[in-house]
Structure 1
Amino acid sequence: MKVPRTQSRKTGRPLSFDREAALEKAMLAFWESGYETTSISDLTAAMGVTAPSIYTAFGDKKQLFLEAMRRYVGDAADLKKAFVLAPTAKEAVARMMEDAARLYTGDATPRGCLLASAAATGSKDAADVRDAAARERRVIRTIIIERIESDVESGLLPPDTKTSVLADTALAITHGMSILARDGADRNALIAIAQASLSGWPDHS
């Protein structure tokens, strides 16, 4: 889920701290508390750097969050590859949802999904944060739909399969799993929900 990315910044004096390590800590802080409720003071405490250092290295809080979110999501090419290599679309979605259940209940990370916390951001000032999270979800949705369509074309799924409905259902269930994880649901419960949701998929033709 997390792939380090090299980001450009204004040239000048070298940073006095490990940028990637600081970004990881910022990601965890945002993941725990969400975008709007995580203050610069919270970030300086979590990252172990000063506020001016944050502005120098990342621009501002919003840019820091967007970069942390990209780190959390990782490279879409990796997800696409996993979907292409899976035996069927259903198995690819099952693996995605089970991976999400494990991520949402990790021992060393906050519960739930960072993208879901971004979606809960409500102020006008955070509209571009919500839009960025929505774009990431649309990328995932497209990957799911393309694999389902491939299964339809190859005869693994019936011709009348509602590809977008299956993809949207998978994403809705995954989002709900994040909420349940925040409420204290354990990993096995989330995996059971994921498996139950897949029982409604059409049979192979």
Structure 2
Amino acid sequence: MPMKDDLHVETISPDIEAMLEASVRMFWKRGYESTSFDDVVDAMGVPKEFVEGAFSNKEELYTAATRWYLHNYGRRLLSGFAMHSNCVDAIRVALYECVDVLCDKTDSDGCLLSTGLLEISTQDSILAREITELRNTMVDAITHKLTNCKDSLKPDTDIETLARFYAATLQGLASQCKDGATKEQLYRVVDMSMKVLDCYRIN
């Protein structure tokens, strides 16, 4: 049962994935400090020896669960970029997908993602590190898409700043969702943000 030294989220087995999903829910419900290793084992519904064979301690389990959770959501957030060669369509679809994820009330209310995109306690260094990596991945993905589409953009387009504008838009969507905005309202925000990119496109 491969786990101890590193977590390769792309190749983990279904049984480990189920354990990570259960642990994410428990950690989010009760918080890291208030959740013991035994609490998570109970939530998983598997023998403790099985869990101990995969994870050395609570911190290792939490790190793995957080990385798995954010990898899954990050992959979903970035899926729109691969679907469209046009940068406007790609970024719009990606931001729509962000809205869907952030407003999803069936999976921990999207809380880990939406809260993480906005503010992370300095005490939670594990989550802060993984969220920072996700944020940087988003900026890199948008930058890459805009760079690939630079022939359709004006020569003086500041691609890096434009990418950070849309990363900031994502954080704004998270904030609005947390404050109770509906999907339809946030879709309209996305549509309005695309007008910025339209200003840099070559007609």
User: TM-score under structure 1 normalisation?
Assistant: 0.73
Q: Which residue of structure 2 lines up, in the alignment, with residue 129 of structure 1?
A: 127
State the shift of 1:34 in Å.
8.6
Q: C-alpha deviations, 1:6-55, integer Å up to 9, x for none?
A: 95238xxxxxx94321211223344x459646623663454345777655
State the shift of 1:109 in Å.
1.2
Question: Whose helix proportion is higher, 1 or 2?
Answer: 2
Q: Secondary structure at the match of 1:93?
A: helix
Q: Which residue of structure 2 lines up, in the alignment, with residue 22 of structure 1?
A: 19
User: TM-score under structure 2 normalisation?
Assistant: 0.74
CA, structure 1 residues 137+45, in 2 after alignment: closer, same or farther (shift >3 Å)? Answer: same
CA, structure 1 residues 84+121, in 2 after alignment: closer, same or farther (shift >3 Å)? Answer: closer
Are 1:97 and 1:174, in contact at CA under 8 Å, matched by a contact in 2?
yes
CA, structure 1 residues 77+104, in 2 after alignment: closer, same or farther (shift >3 Å)? Answer: closer
Segments of 4+ in structure 1 off by > 4 A?
32-38, 49-56, 75-82
Stretch moving more, 46-55 or 109-118? 46-55
Unaligned runs of 5+ in 1: 1-5, 11-16
Are 1:54 and 1:60, in contact at CA under 8 Å, matched by a contact in 2?
no
Unaligned runs of 5+ in 2: 6-13
State the shift of 1:79 in Å.
6.9
Are 1:34 and 1:121, in contact at CA under 8 Å, matched by a contact in 2?
no
C-alpha RMSD over aligned residues:
3.3
Are 1:35 and 1:65, in contact at CA under 8 Å, matched by a contact in 2?
no
Which structure is higher in RCO with an 8 Å CA cutoff and minimum separation 6?
A: 1
Q: C-alpha deviations, 1:35-93, integer Å up to 9, x for none?
A: 64662366345434577765543333333233223323239788777525413122111
Aligned residues: 190
The answer to whether structure 1 residue 181 and structure 2 residue 163 are counterparts is: no
CA, structure 1 residues 88+65, in 2 after alignment: closer, same or farther (shift >3 Å)? Answer: farther
Distance 2:173 2:100 in 1: 11
Distance 1:174 1:38 in 2: 30
State the shift of 1:94 in Å.
0.9
Q: Secondary structure at the match of 1:111?
A: helix
The percentage of aligned residue pairs carrying the same residue is 21
